[in-house]
Amino acid sequence: MAGDGTVYEELKAAILRGDFSPRQRLVEVELSEDFGASRFQVRRALHTLESDGIVEHLPNKGARIREIGIDEAVEITEVRMVVEGLVAARAAERVSDEQAEALLDVGRRMRAAVEVGDVGTYSELNGVLHSSLRDIAQHHKANGIIARLHGQMVRHQFALSRVPGRPSVSVVQHENIIAAVVARDPMAAEAAMRAHISSVIEALRAIA
């Protein structure tokens, strides 16, 4: 029914929402029925998801959800570390006064959430902070790569958010990032971002 390219969006959203489990087969006709789309459109969506690194395609055996192990998750996060470092540095160069104030506000709300123990809000603010930095940096290429990598990390991202005690550690790192960006200090901003994501990598390894 839907002639748009929405099949891709919907299917991707469903996968990111966790509707499918790793290595689960994605049968074309099933999906086309579920989404009310033609097999043709499902096929194209699967192909795009494959180059997003979310789905893998085995010849003559169809598509399945790619399983991303700890090793690969670490690699992804390592790349994310340096690219988000670039974004942070660039944000420090370009941030406006209003944007700086907004960042400080996010920082304050993060600390408040941690003190109350509101993990959900903290996790949400975490996403807001990182995406705000991307908005400020306006580095199209970096943003695209980060988005792609993020899509591959959803499952581990979820696991990470459940590690107890992490918020109280990372809130300080986030404050350091914000302080450096607000101070218009690119080098410090990059260093702070890398320190932060570096600790995420350690937490990832600790899960395994």
Partner DNA sequence: GCCAACAATATTGTTGACAATATCAAGGCG
Partner DNA sequence: CGCCTTGATATTGTCAACAATATTGTTGGC
Residues near DNA (CB under 7 A): 3, 25-29, 38-41, 43, 57, 59-63
Q: Which long-range contacts (CB under 8 A, 24 or more apart) does 112-119 make?
A: 113/167, 114/167, 114/168, 114/171, 119/161, 119/167
Q: Closer to its own copies at the Cβ: 112 or 145?
A: 145
Given its own copies, DNA, none, residue 96, with its beta carbon under 5 to 8 Å by kind, binds none
Given DNA, its own copies, none, residue 78, with its beta carbon under 5 to 8 Å by kind, binds its own copies
CB 57 within 8 A of CB 46: yes
Least Å distance between CB 54 and its own copies?
12
φ, ψ at 60 (rounded to 5°): 65, 5
Report CA-CA distances (Å) from 36 to 31, 116, 135, 197: 8, 44, 35, 40
Retrieve residue 106's tokens. 């996010």
Q: Closer to DNA at the Cβ: 53 or 62?
A: 62
Given its own copies, DNA, none, residue 63, with its beta carbon under 5 to 8 Å by kind, binds DNA
Nearest alpha-carbon partner for 51 in 122, 135, 129, 148? 148
Least Å distance between CB 27 and DNA?
4
Least Å distance between CB 106 and DNA?
40
Q: Closer to DNA at the Cβ: 59 or 164?
A: 59
- Parallel, antiparallel, or unpaired for β 25-26 and 55-58? unpaired
Given its own copies, DNA, none, residue 140, with its beta carbon under 5 to 8 Å by kind, binds its own copies
